[in-house]
Chain A
């Protein structure tokens, strides 16, 4: 099987997998980065959202071969080791998670939004976040946490 050089959370590494393997499974099952979650496999739920060159991307829709050369960041690499990203801090302060399963995707989507748009309007938050599904109804807390992070960031 072909080998693919990747840059994940600042580390250059190589994985062996078929070209069309979604990055989601490379991260979770080849690299042990299980913070990124499977939800639908079709780019419909956002649970697998990561950053590719700073853009929020559905990792179930990005093949490993297409990920070559991109800087991939997962929830595990969002903040330097042992520290929290401002979005993660806000998430704790607003006590956002319930089951927690979708939260890595939510946080990665929110962090990408704030990196580009440090003071997003309510509409901009909605546009960026509306495709990331949460079955626990944490949406109002997510909105508050993003506002909080934006004020601090």
Chain B
């Protein structure tokens, strides 16, 4: 936090120990003008980019502009810079960048952090490296070509060496090269290694600071009483009983309800329980699961927007000799981040400091400025570690509420969501109903495919749908299989339940329907599910690559052990290709026990294989939680589940062994964080079919025990 001074003043170029060209004349032509005004002053002498600084002791600081929520960006992004810089990994530290447009897009989501930073951050490291070499060559009066770098040192003729720290000031006077030479993958020393995560030591000592851990003198704790019915409005409240509780500092109405502010969180919750509120419940007070499924079934009878149309599937299906149909259903789901959302706000000296575990720092800054009636320049958003995010922390509801509360108090406040608040006031993964129909040819392979996705649109509800269809509703429905006649359509009923982005978004339900259905087709054709898919992706080498890699590692060709059964699912998302093979056993009347998952992944260059393995393990745990247990149900216009006893998360005893196979590739890195979620549910239900001969077409599996 010390790096970016809170006071803003014009950039003093001399203060950076460099020239205008150094600090600003980077290769991002269109950003140049903006940067000239906004690059914050830094203490390190050598800061050739907003993402990098090197001090005179050789400490390399990488400014991470994305949010660390477990997915490893605090390690993967510095690795990319450090590789091209040839920095000694042990000398690399990170600073979390605050919300600022100078960092480009800070939205941490859509599994893009590594993929979209790859080119830019390699150039940052490579440019700095060339400047350090140039400085050493000049000092030694030798040619640049006679120098190389290793482990944070420039090495010259006859073994002369100078560390980056000693060269920092001289390097800072050089012009930032516009097109530094980038390494070829064969030259990588750090990228591709299992470099230990930078964030791990603080996470085992309790020193890591999450949003909920920010400490400030005089900090008060706030909770909000919100409408128990979707869309309800506050009609009135009686604060006396709450205010009488010692330690309560304020009970105030805000736009979403009534905030109770107290000396600690326990007092705040106790006082909220003593508060009497009245709500104008609006039109949704009777909305429940029966109404939900009735609405989805009605919508399924309508024509949707065609999002893909190859050939004429309707005609083919009408005249098909062998037609297969199936319907799949998935419920609303909560994010259930271990760290519920929250936000800390301190208003002082005409400024606002905001701490949030946000996946969207720049939107948080805009939201805070709007609520506070301040210019964005007066609002600093400090991005903390996030105790997972899963898309929930893209939203700005907690930031807005916290700012409204802070305005009414003269002390810093932290707004927290309790677990009950978190489950009752989420932006849920939309429920969905899928209807699929296929016609099989004489060879058993599909000739026509029709898929109707019935699910509310996140973008439409947010007022962000710009014509056409919502790609986040149908993503994952765009099948890779070689089928001549394909129609995919989307019907988006408007429903009162607030919805949002949930790890893997549309892929989470589309992959379930598609991969379960393909398995049904293979069975109808009397063919092996892996062999069947192989034929359908014969011309799609990266699909084929992960399919074969998983099948080989799982020894698909050999029968599983007695009592064990396998299922496969193949799914590409976020630019990467995955195949999972789940091995399960089934006890009568119980949920399937998933023993092992083989997960083959092709995500281009594997920046850090260990982090990729972690994300595969994490994605499988997350997807399996949903497949087995995840179920948000509705009653009286609100959510039934209040805490983990009703919304169980996967436990250690339910976690399978995960064996990750990374398919080697020289392609640029692609997404990882969300990609392991979509295939696990279909892999498990396909294994269930192998075990029982029955299809589980409704999730979670506790709803359709077979």
Residues of A within 8 A of B (CB): 1, 17-18, 21-22, 25, 28-30, 32-42, 44-45, 47, 74-76, 84, 88, 91-92, 95-104, 107, 126, 129-143
Residues of B within 8 A of A (CB): 69-72, 194, 196-197, 199-210, 212-213, 215, 221, 246-247, 264-267, 269, 336-340, 385-388, 416, 418-419, 610, 614, 617-622, 625, 643-645, 649-653, 655, 657-658
Q: Which 7 A-B pairs have the closest CB atoms?
A: A35-B206, A137-B621, A101-B387, A99-B70, A100-B203, A98-B70, A75-B206
Cα A36 to Cα B385 with chains together (Å): 15
Chain A residues, CB < 8 A from B339: 37, 99, 101
A133:B209 contact, CB within 8 angstroms: no
Interface contacts beyond A41-B418, A97-B199, A130-B653: sample of 12 additional A-B pairs, CB < 8 Å, sorted by A: A18-B266, A33-B206, A34-B206, A34-B209, A37-B387, A98-B70, A99-B70, A100-B70, A101-B387, A131-B651, A132-B652, A140-B617
A interface majority secondary structure: loop
A22:B387 contact, CB within 8 angstroms: no
Contacts A45-B338, A100-B385 given: A95-B610 contact, CB under 8 Å? yes
B266:A44 contact, CB within 8 angstroms: no
Contact with B200, one of A1, A21, A28, A95 (Cβ below 8 angstroms): A95
Chain A residues, CB < 8 A from B385: 99-100
Most A C-beta atoms less than 10 A away, residue of B202, B204, B208, B622:
B204
Chain A residues, CB < 8 A from B69: 99
A–B pairs, 9, beta carbons within 8 Å: A21-B266, A35-B205, A44-B643, A45-B644, A95-B194, A95-B196, A100-B385, A103-B203, A134-B652
Contacts A41-B418, A41-B419 given: A107-B618 contact, CB under 8 Å? no
A136:B652 contact, CB within 8 angstroms: no
Cα A128 to Cα B215 with chains together (Å): 32
Chain A residues, CB < 8 A from B655: 137, 139-140
Cα A104 to Cα B194 with chains together (Å): 24
Q: What residue in chain B is nearest A64 (Cβ atoms)?
A: B266
Q: What residue in chain B is nearest A79 (Cβ atoms)?
A: B205
Contacts A1-B246, A136-B618 given: A25-B337 contact, CB under 8 Å? no
B337:A135 contact, CB within 8 angstroms: yes
Q: What residue in chain B is nearest A97 (Cβ atoms)?
A: B203
Cα A139 to Cα B619 with chains together (Å): 13
A99: min CB distance to chain B, Å: 3
Chain A residues, CB < 8 A from B419: 39-42
Chain A residues, CB < 8 A from B416: 38
A103: min CB distance to chain B, Å: 5
Cα A126 to Cα B339 with chains together (Å): 24
Chain A residues, CB < 8 A from B644: 39-40, 42, 44-45, 133
Cα A139 to Cα B650 with chains together (Å): 10
A98:B387 contact, CB within 8 angstroms: no
